[in-house]
Chains A and B, each alone.
Chain A
Amino acid sequence: MSTGRKIRVVVAKPGLDGHDRGAKIIARALRDAGMEVIYTGLHQTPEQIVETVIQEDADAVGLSILSGAHMTLVPRIAEGLKAAGADEVVLVVGGTIPGEDIPELKELGVAEVFTPGSPVQGIVDYIRSAVPA
């Protein structure tokens, strides 16, 4: 990063899902790794998340979904980011995502999907490498 700016990451919980153990662990690990972390808290609509990403001028956004609603929520967020001209923001998804849904999510613009058991360090490393310096 030529500017020396910290990587800014929004960690978001879309939908009504209250399972926030993973999101909080990831938020803390990213913060401990020196990134600027904005955790949205629970029950965010896709529109709210897109707005947070824009307002916070984020480099990356991580969505945590364990409710099975990912095929409804993720496309709306990906489209929202595109519509707002923020398609360079690195979009990652974590949670209970069946393997067969991953190709479709990637086609929508998701950079990477992290399923249960993914090492946290791997997620930190991924975001660091995926955000352009």
Chain B
Amino acid sequence: MTDAERWYRERYAATPERDALFTTLSGEEVRPLYTEEDLPEPARIGLPGEFPFTRGVYPSMYRGRLWTMRQFAGFGTAEETNERFRYLLDHGQTGLSTAFDMPSLMGHDSDHPRSLGEVGREGVAVDTLDDMETLFGGIPLGDVSTSMTINAPAAVMLAFYVVAAERQGVPPEQLAGTIQTDILKEYIAQKEWCFPIDPAMRLVTDMVEFCAERMPRWHPISISGYHIREAGSTAQQELAFTLKDGFTYVEHAVERGLDVDAFAPRLSFFFNAHIDFFEEIAKYRAARRIWARELRDTYGARDERSLLMRFHSQTAGVSLTAQQPLNNIVRTATEALSAVLGGTQSLHTNSYDEAMALPTEEAVRVALRTQQVIAHETGVTNTIDPLGGSYFVEALTDRMEEAAYAYFAKIDELGGMVDAIKQNFPQREIADASFQLQEEIERGQRIVVGVNRYQSVDDAHTDILRIPPELERKQIGRVQAVRARRDSAEVEEALSELRDAAASGRNLMEPLLVAARAHASEGEIVESLQRVFGTYTETPVF
């Protein structure tokens, strides 16, 4: 009998337990106590900046440099978002992050019938090169790092951005930033697509190839678990599906003939920071270790930078409640702390009013201040991976890793991630997990403060940001004005060239740059590609 077993029998078993669910948010059993017997071999933990990177990708972590505080912003027209960008830069934000509106994410122009009522609502409307130039007006693109959250039409937006920079006199080689581009998680979770999955993967690989050759400071894919988690997955599913998506992009690029070390250092990740504190920290630590091992051992990477999983994180929108919204500040702070203790490279903190609408400026400021308090007041940045060696955190990290490998095996049985998605496997796993969690909440087994326990009769009124409807008309006016003043023969020629390239299989980035320079709109470009690639409709599972 180990000492811990003796303790359990003699001491713990004699004391009553609360009537509660002692599992993580994802349903992982948690024991009353962890001891040194739960620690793995020291080599599995390692040291910061060294294989397997469990304790962090850099040797000095936050002692060398704090994480980037990168608040995602975008609404209305490019002019309004440009103002918000300048506001955030003035308040100490260190990187820009662009949210696009739904029509832009789906490849529709603002005057497309399906865009009605959606223009500029959840992000900024970008229809043409002209909008992209307005969006970054007065911001020197060679000096900032920019993140663009767009997937299905990512290659089109990247072309707009590269041409906008070109017109500022900045070559693509100097541009720093990230574009999300992670199309696999769109089919799995976020559901904003333009093309069937196979041509969509080809477009992603075209971008990876272009960036490997021309944009050494650019991250062509941000492999994202965030949306998988927001769609209701567990932490284990988020980890497993995201990593598997990442391996799939690597495989496609290698098949294209690229050396793994020519692009892998520029792959980055994006994870959710949910409310179960230790589970999240374990997830990040396991993610780093798995990525490093697989890139080295399975994909043959030799450059150490290819092994580094650098990630952005965002607190969980899905954990926010419309009831008693100020409580969301506490949730967000806890989640942000887990991301920091998990070694994140950049962080977005949600605003407390986001369960109701887009955030107000005041709420955005509190969210940014939350990060600044963690960074400068709490002392958690003084030492690297302060939870490394914690019996519980190390054991949970190992459990996370096992769960991920179990999913990898299932996905491989289905023929890999692309085939698994076509068979609705990850979609069904997520739907089941989200239903189960909802049932636990309904039964009161899981308490959500202010929702199923500690309700208040009247929730305080919260101001919300409204997008005026005139904005849609204004944006429609902008795109139509561009169409009126450009050279339409040049546009026709560029789009026809693009269709030929799509049919021929040659890299689409150059023809996309030509189309961007001709002021072709996003919708025109996407529709041209759809004429060759077709469109996508899912068979929903619930």
Contact = CB atoms under 8 A, between A and B. Distances in A.
Interface stretch (B114-122, B131-139, B329-337, B373-381): B114-122
Given A16-B118, A24-B434, A28-B435, 4 more contacts: A19-B230, A42-B538, A96-B355, A120-B438
A98 B464 contact: yes
Interface string A27-45: 1110000000001011101
Given A72-B117, A96-B356, A116 B322 contact: yes
Contact of B117 (A15, A18, A43): A15
14 contacts: A16-B108, A16-B115, A18-B191, A24-B542, A25-B438, A29-B438, A39-B542, A41-B538, A43-B191, A71-B117, A73-B117, A96-B355, A117-B450, A117-B451
Contacts, number: 103
A19 B192 CA distance: 10
A108 interface: no
Contacts of A28: 431, 435, 542
**Which 5 A/B pairs are nearest by Cβ-Cβ distance?**
A72-B117, A18-B191, A16-B102, A24-B542, A69-B117
B357 A68 contact: yes
Nearest to B119: A69
A108 to B, nearest CB: 14
Contacts of A39: 540, 542
Nearest to A69: B117
A16 B434 contact: no
A72 B191 contact: no
A67 B434 contact: no
Nearest to B186: A18
Contacts of A15: 102, 114, 117-118
Contact of A121 (B320, B357, B442): B442
A120 B232 contact: no
Given A68-B357, A96-B356, A25 B117 contact: no
Nearest to A65: B117
Contacts of A119: 442, 452
Contacts of B116: 72
Contacts of A51: none
A120 to B, nearest CB: 6
B321 A16 contact: no
Contacts of B231: 19-21
B371 to A, nearest CB: 24
B323 interface: yes
A17 interface: yes
A52 interface: no
B106 A16 contact: yes
A32 to B, nearest CB: 9
Interface in B224-250: 230-232
Contact of A116 (B106, B192, B321, B540): B321
A68 B467 contact: yes
A115 B431 CA distance: 20
Q: Is the interface of B mostly helix, strand, loop or mixed?
A: loop
B537 interface: yes
B102 A27 contact: no
Contacts of B450: 117
B442 A98 contact: no
B191 A21 contact: no
A37 to B, nearest CB: 8
Nearest to A74: B117
Interface of A: 15-21, 23-25, 27-29, 39, 41-43, 45, 67-69, 71-73, 96, 98, 115-117, 119-121
B163 interface: no
A115 B448 CA distance: 15
B318 interface: yes
B451 A16 contact: no
Contacts of A98: 356-357, 464
A41 B322 contact: no
A18 B190 contact: yes
B444 to A, nearest CB: 10
Interface in B405-439: 431, 434-435, 438
A44 to B, nearest CB: 10
A68 B122 CA distance: 7
A11 to B, nearest CB: 8
A116 B191 contact: no
Given A21-B231, A69-B117, A73-B117, A16 B192 contact: yes
A96 B542 contact: no
Contacts of B435: 24-25, 28-29
A116 B355 contact: yes
Contact of B434 (A21, A41, A115, A117): A21
A21 B108 CA distance: 24
Contacts of A25: 232, 434-435, 438, 542
Given A69-B118, A117-B323, A42 B438 contact: no
Contacts of A69: 102, 117-118, 121
B192 A18 contact: yes
A101 to B, nearest CB: 10
B164 interface: no
Nearest to A117: B451
Nearest to B355: A116
Interface string B181-194: 00000100011100
B74 interface: no
A11 B450 CA distance: 27
Contacts of A20: 191, 231, 540
A24 B122 contact: no
Interface in B517-542: 537-540, 542
A16 B103 contact: yes
A26 to B, nearest CB: 9
A16 B105 contact: yes
Contacts of B539: 41
A19 B231 CA distance: 7
